[in-house]
Amino acid sequence: MVKSIEQLITELYALGIKLWVEEDQLYSQAPKGAITPELRVEIGQRKEALISHLRQMQSEVRPAPLQPFPRHDPLPLSFAQQRLWFLYQFEGQPNPTYNIPMALRLTGSLQVAALQHALNEIVRRHEILRTTFPTVEEQPVQRISSSLTLPLSVEDLQPLPEPEQTAELNRLLAHEVERPFDLVRGPLFRIVLYVLRDTAYVLQITMHHIISDDWSLDILMRELDTLYRAFSHDQLSPLQELPLQYADFAQWQRLWLSDEVLARQLAYWQQQLAMAPPLLELPTDHPRPARQSFTGRMERFEMEPQLMVQLRSLSRENAASLFMTLYSAFAVLLSRYSGQEDLVIGTPIAHRHDQAVEPLIGLFLNTLALRTDLSGNPSFAEVLKQVRQVTLEAYAHQDIPFEQLVDELEVERQLNHSPLFQAMFVWQDQRPTLALDEVQAEPLELHTGTAKFDLTLFLGEVEREANEGLWGLVEYNTDLFEAATIDRFICHFRQLLIGIVSDPNQPVKHVPLLTEAERRQLLAEWNATQCDYPSGQCVHQLFEAQVERTPEAVAVVFGQTQWRYRELNQQANQLAHRLQALGVGPDVLVGVCLERSPQMAMSILAILKAGGAYVPLDPAYPQDRLRFMLDHAQVQVLLTQASLRAWLTPPANTVTLILDDPEIDLAAESQDNLSSGVTPDHLLYVIYTSGSTGRPKGVAMRHQPLTNLVWWQQTRTPMAEGARTLQFTPVSFDVSCQELFSTWCFGGTLVLVSEDIRRDGDAL
């Protein structure tokens, strides 16, 4: 199927290839390697159609060409600037969240005067570097200073010996990065030169994002290189004067984005983001605070050249850009982490359509909210196809400013997370190598100590010895994540990419994430749980051993009543002897329907001593449910109390013992421990499910797992003798037996409360 001209132009744009027409000639600008031989042939074959369509676009898209505007009226902010100004006001005090830092290590004979001259010439050329943002009639405006000379602050660190010098340099760099700007007073552009030795310097440049973006840094570096070369040789500036300034763009943008244009693009985004999830719920190390602080850190990583080659090949095979492939992988990883299949991820776009704005420093950046649907466990190739389509459509509707989109969609703003998305994906093209004439310049990595989003993944190409690799940075909010979590995230991203290139047709939920070390830890080390424990004993026997050790320790507390271990053991033995006389032994079921009391806990212990298995019957259950459980379990003996007897209808062959009946005389029974022949493989209990999906089902449990559990618990979290445990869970839930015997087997005190108190949080 032959693609349309519109599709071809959009695909080229997605690959970073720009086309334009001048005097009937077609021109292009593209990143290295973006125009493949196949693309070159296709562009050549469709050249006339491309020229015709581009001309039509140029006549339709803009109501007027970008041109200088008069400076006598208040100058409005661009939409992107307005968003940053709003955030600045919203925070209530200056902060470094939107500082753009850069530092260069300079090696060589630096002419400081020429450097100062070059920097001031750049400030003169670009009005935006002389701009502040006061309020006029309650609206922010751009105020441009007619002239501004930025002093080059020089910090001489030469007197310091090497270790102290490095430490002081790092301290000063960090301090400068974290120093906030005042948007009203300015300046919003700072320069510091640190002198280390006669031929060793560090140049630090810091700007506020409201006057700059990533593209602008490249302009700044190119102009600094050109001007320094000229001024260091006593030559005039070779740069042509700029016909336009950023303020002209801001004014033009306000006129260009008319209601009609906005409505056309807004309709797409309203449909694309309808019912989008408001929050990406990644598993965090810390609870999300009520108000985000934007405190952050970053972790850097690199990936091997061979993986980059495979990713490029995968992208070509799927007619996608490297950006699309890596974005897709990022979306898959976020989905695997969060469990969410509907994701919205932000990504910046340069938004410099017009060649006239390409040489301007300023904030042209816009943000796109890309939505990805991973439902149905698609293959990675299918995800990439979807992302490619969504990305191309987003590029075709990129003019509406993000801040306006948020307003138009009426997204509810929250103090604890950003609107529309909380994760950002940033692809950065490789920067050109900078040299100031004969002075070599090497970039230094700086960070503001902030994070604009929960998580931002930066990726870019790195060239080393003719090999292209992949570098990355993860910027993360430290209120939410620990460094170790982000390190694992990076490892999982690498494993995901390796799995994707090896088989892009496998379902994304099946692509391996774990490293070999993690798989070994998960499957082998964490399952190497074998240890010595009393595997031949049951929990009532462990209790009897504890009675020998601490007979006078308190075993049960219930209000003003308390039983010591000796007393609890004796009473349980008396009831156990009676139960054995009634035929209770291994695997014989005994029902227990008693209100919360020491007698309830003692009865369970007595059943186990007799060798039987208990069936808990909660008095709060409906009568029909209790009748079903008694009929289904066919208990041989039922232990209850007088106030509950009428509520129960046991089978005719069941013996019922009413424990508070004076005629049930247990005093004559022996208080000695007894033998029952029970082993760890015999039944411990039968507990019935809630029956929410139908009739209740009886779940049978043997003794051995409980012995294993309480012994493991004591090994990992030892209970000191005398420690108190609240017996909170109803005995109809399996956790209750853990509460009972992890306490009694090791000398603790079980604290029982009535049902009324158990349900009253204040009383507890």
pLDDT at 693 over 70: no
Q: Which of 220, 247, 274 is the last residue of a domain?
A: 247
Mean pLDDT value of segment 353-377: 93
Task: Please state, in angstroms and as integers, the Cα–Cα distance from residue 618 to each residue in 697, 698, 725, 727, 735, following that order.
Answer: 15, 14, 21, 15, 14
Q: pLDDT band for position 466 (50/70/90)?
A: low
Q: Show the tokens assigned to 75.
A: 């100058």
Residue-level pLDDT at 527 = 81
Residue-level pLDDT at 2 = 64
Q: pLDDT band for position 34 (50/70/90)?
A: confident
Q: Is residue 254, in this structure, part of any structural domain at all?
A: no
Question: What is the Cα–Cα distance from 329 to 605, expressed in whole angstroms?
Answer: 56
pLDDT at 62 over 60: no
Residue 273 lies in domain:
262-430+451-525
Mean pLDDT value of segment 570-575: 97
3-class secondary-structure state, position 611: coil
pLDDT at 342 over 90: yes
pLDDT per residue over 100-126, tens digit each? Answer: 999 999 999 999 999 999 999 999 999
Please give the mean pLDDT across all residues of the chain. 90
Half-sphere exposure of 142 (CA within 13 A, CB side): 28
Going through 593-663 in order, the beta strands assigned E by DSSP cover 613-616, 637-640, 655-658
Q: Show the tokens assigned to 301.
A: 């990583």
Q: pLDDT band for position 28 (50/70/90)?
A: confident
Residue-level pLDDT at 188 = 95
Residue 730: is it exposed, middle or buried by C-beta count within 10 angstroms (0-12/13-18/19+)? Answer: middle
Q: Which of 247, 276, 304 is the last residue of a domain?
A: 247
The domain spanning residue 573 has which CATH number?
3.40.50.12780
Task: Say yes or no: 460 and 388 in one domain.
Answer: yes
Q: Show the tokens assigned to 138.
A: 């309650």
Residue-level pLDDT at 50 = 83
Task: Please state, in angstroms and as integers, the Cα–Cα distance from residue 464 to each residue in 172, 434, 441, following that order.
Answer: 30, 16, 17
pLDDT at 691 over 90: no
Residue-level pLDDT at 499 = 97
Q: pLDDT band for position 722 (50/70/90)?
A: confident
Q: Show the tokens assigned to 397.
A: 């509707």
Task: Say yes or no: 107 and 231 in one domain.
Answer: yes
pLDDT at 197 over 60: yes
Task: Say yes or no: 601 and 466 in one domain.
Answer: no
Task: Say yes or no: 549 and 411 in one domain.
Answer: no
Half-sphere exposure of 228 (CA within 13 A, CB side): 22
The domain spanning residue 32 has which CATH number?
1.10.10
Task: Say yes or no: 167 and 53 in one domain.
Answer: no
Least confident range of 10-24, 266-280, 391-405: 10-24
Q: Show the tokens assigned to 750.
A: 């079980």
Q: Bridge partners of 463?
A: 468
Task: Say yes or no: 633 and 737 in one domain.
Answer: yes
Residue-level pLDDT at 17 = 79
Q: Is residue 518, in this structure, part of any structural domain at all?
A: yes
The domain spanning residue 364 has which CATH number?
3.30.559.30
The domain spanning residue 208 has which CATH number?
3.30.559.10
Half-sphere exposure of 714 (CA within 13 A, CB side): 25
Residue-level pLDDT at 467 = 63
Q: What is the pTM of this model?
A: 0.70
Residue-level pLDDT at 59 = 54
